[in-house]
A and B are shown apart, each in its own frame.
Chain A
């Protein structure tokens, strides 16, 4: 892979004109070198800093880019919201990040056949908003509600509604894919190649559009919360329910630690701190069937508690933060191994002195998508690194229970053999070679992580070596790990400090920020402002030009409304501005121009009024 010369940048600029926005500011590139995961050593292993960021405004621009990239052998890293933590969107060898934020149009709504065609950069929340006035609704959607359609296709594909509607693949009619050759192909569900684009993290082509199947809008959701004595009882209940032919829209499991944290967050002991499931129906008849079925089983909680948890489905990261860095492991497990796995990991976690939280979406009659998460704190680096090693351990353990890792990206690349069998992998590799002979799409990950330094550190990520390491980890890591002393770190924190270290970078705020929407400036994205704040707090160097962007904010507070962690963002912005003002002064003129630019923007007003329901 080659780097990008100045001449090439200019060439791209001329070639793309107004069809794309190019940026190569140092800070902006830094922002694109991360996803929501916090991996302290990633920069040592990979060239995570892209050379250039391109935000194409139309598909024509994208075609031009891919043509140049293929000719010049420049690596491309398409990026949606970046709400996964496995490094799927992180550059490994510099190159170009393709930001899909502007390719978010809704192309066509086919009411008759109940289908909608959207560009890959459209967010699930955008589609929901678009359908608000229609009689139609989405089938399944990811719990990262503000993530993009392209992102979910390329990664997991399981989420809310997966119990009823199955994997994303089954609710997509067709996708349009752009190949490194410059060819655009529409691939229908019955095509052989169709499934290759799901969960393969952008290895074969760039997804341009997707045609989603919709359904009639349900009248209402009817969630029920049921408590159980133990995980085994949960599994039995679910299996019995399935056998009784009851079809809920969604089933979600939460463990006692999850409910304990929820209680703490609400500052009231509302939930019993037990294993529980939320079963949601959207069909009244099914609901009735369920009620008579469940009458003899388990303990039912009040409806409002069930509703609360159901509402929280889109805020899965909520109680992970609060002054700490969340770590998580996602794995798909056969339902029969669900209980033994949970029992094993809790024993393991105790050795690491962490408390695990488990959530799980039951994604079909046989499988569960298990999300295990726990709190650490990156500011206590030694412990954090030790905690970090627990993730592959949890994943490894999962595979011994016939589980498969939910995604691969960079950090799960060693588990590729656990995700795909030999034959399939061979097929994928052949296909990759066929469609992307120069390996310009997302190189250095997924199939095999390939690091800097002649890939010598990358040896560690080789599946066989990695397996060996994961055997050693349980011995060493617990020795290094210390329990996180929360009291110490949270006591004297200012609102900004608390916010910065509690942010899980989910990106909900970005989808709801008018300043970001109008300016399309990545530096105005609230989560990125917090990243700048983090640098400020850690006394890293900040450029004045980047600092001034922080002031371009209307303090509307809409970021706060969608923040998973209920962070006090408005206070944080004021504090951040104050600090920056002390250091760089206040960019009065820029602020004035910004305010009038906002008021003159039609997009702005459309967005503002869309909030009014």
Chain B
């Protein structure tokens, strides 16, 4: 059997103790070092001391899943468990503490996190949580697991695709084939929102290079030719310099070096694209467009103008940026955009990339179902490197996990681990849906069960069409 793409994971223990959901306290006066807790704990919270196994080491709180086994079995009743206040204070309303603990776990182990006994909810919520996926073929992959005999591709392509191919009499393709490049998984690294430092960039670039994916980077911040195959320079304010002579010359080297570049959208963007293509026809160009009320128009314009990749961005919390509806979420925005291009029968010709608010592995699958070809992630990369999103660095204060002092190799491994775990989850979803290619998942809205649709189906017969808006916000 041909070799499968798989991501090799290596345990990368956190440098700083992660903030766990629970705090286990051991009463030293009561503890008799009997070792019962070390035997009953499934998660490795309790260990004997390495240097002297007659004594117990401090409980590793962040590994605790709150199963209470140690509490119940301790013959001395020396252990107590409580919620960790610091855990509840992690992140914000969108970046919940659970997201942190799961990303930390995945970055450390590369394994899919298990939440414990049963799913405790929520069964619906805001953002990506207002959508479920239909996994009616769930029995299939369980036959021999996601790494079993089944071949499931997670590769995606960047670039323009021709709607039809023409052949000569000898059967040779004569229509011009645009440049295309593939990456093995539908996730690339977006520019990070903060925490700019050489070591972090190096770690991300190493990981991207290892995984064979892309990493967006502002070349003014950092660039290293060693990783050029994976780096996608983000060129901003190009059209401002456009009218000046040789405006793009300073980027010429970069453009030639890289497989793909990204330019920020403005009115003159088509001219910029033309100019870049003049420098290198082989370089794929992505246009970065912020989601807003005019997005559909812009996308339409770009798609028809022959754009190869359109990168649609929401803010860090997945909210649309320039819109009257401040609560509009990235999932709904991409769904509309996707549908528009489908209506125009041009959807397959352009690559849509989505970023903003992608915080968990399931969000990738959901974004793809809603019409994205590929997703770009930002904050999860920093969280994987132990960031607590405390925003102290925004105020110029010291970082509690000393991100700047990160060892790039170690950092890269944590990112690789995270991506490995995310890809596994994507494979699970694909397998459960009976799909063998993530490209088949794109725009597969038939697989999506949207909360609002369910609500309409259920209550419209009772309250009449539109009558359900009164109960809309009560998930």
Contacts and interface: CB of A to CB of B under 8 A. Distances in A.
A112 to B, nearest CB: 33
B26 interface: no
Centre residue among A594, A604, A605 by max chain B CB count within 10 A: A605
B35 A556 contact: no
Interface string B48-89: 100011110000000000000000000111000000000000
A609 interface: yes
B39 A599 contact: yes
B32 A553 contact: no
Interface string A589-613: 0011011001100001100110110
A595 B53 contact: yes
B32 A595 contact: no
Interface in A509-558: 514, 551, 553-558
Interface in B1-57: 32-36, 39, 48, 52-55
B31 to A, nearest CB: 8
B54 A591 contact: yes
Say what secondary structure dominates the interface of chain B.
loop
B32 A558 contact: yes
A376 B36 CA distance: 44
Nearest to B28: A557
A608 B32 contact: yes
Contact of A609 (B48, B53, B75): B75
Given A554-B32, A598-B35, A608 B75 contact: yes
Contacts of A558: 32
A555 B53 CA distance: 11
A176 B464 CA distance: 93
A595 B35 contact: yes
B48 A595 contact: yes
Interface in A24-42: none
11 contacts: A553-B54, A554-B34, A554-B35, A556-B34, A591-B52, A598-B35, A599-B39, A604-B34, A608-B34, A608-B75, A612-B76
A555 B55 contact: yes
Nearest to A596: B53
Interface of B: 32-36, 39, 48, 52-55, 75-77
Nearest to B52: A591
Interface residues of A, number: 20
Given A595-B53, A609-B75, A612-B76, A556 B48 contact: no
B35 A612 contact: no
A161 B275 CA distance: 107
A557 B32 contact: yes
Given A555-B55, A595-B54, A608 B36 contact: yes
Contacts of B33: 554-556
A604 B33 CA distance: 12
Given A556-B33, A599-B35, A611 B75 contact: yes
Contacts of A599: 35, 39
A594 B35 CA distance: 12
A578 to B, nearest CB: 12
Contacts of A604: 34
Nearest to B74: A612
Contact of A556 (B32, B52, B53): B32
A605 B73 CA distance: 11
Contacts of A612: 75-77
Contacts of A591: 52-54
A557 B34 CA distance: 11
Given A554-B33, A556-B34, A608-B34, 17 more contacts: A553-B54, A554-B32, A554-B54, A555-B33, A556-B33, A591-B53, A592-B53, A595-B54, A599-B35, A599-B39, A604-B34, A605-B36, A608-B32, A611-B75, A611-B76, A612-B75, A612-B77
A584 B36 CA distance: 31
Contacts of A594: 54
A556 B48 CA distance: 13
A553 B77 CA distance: 21
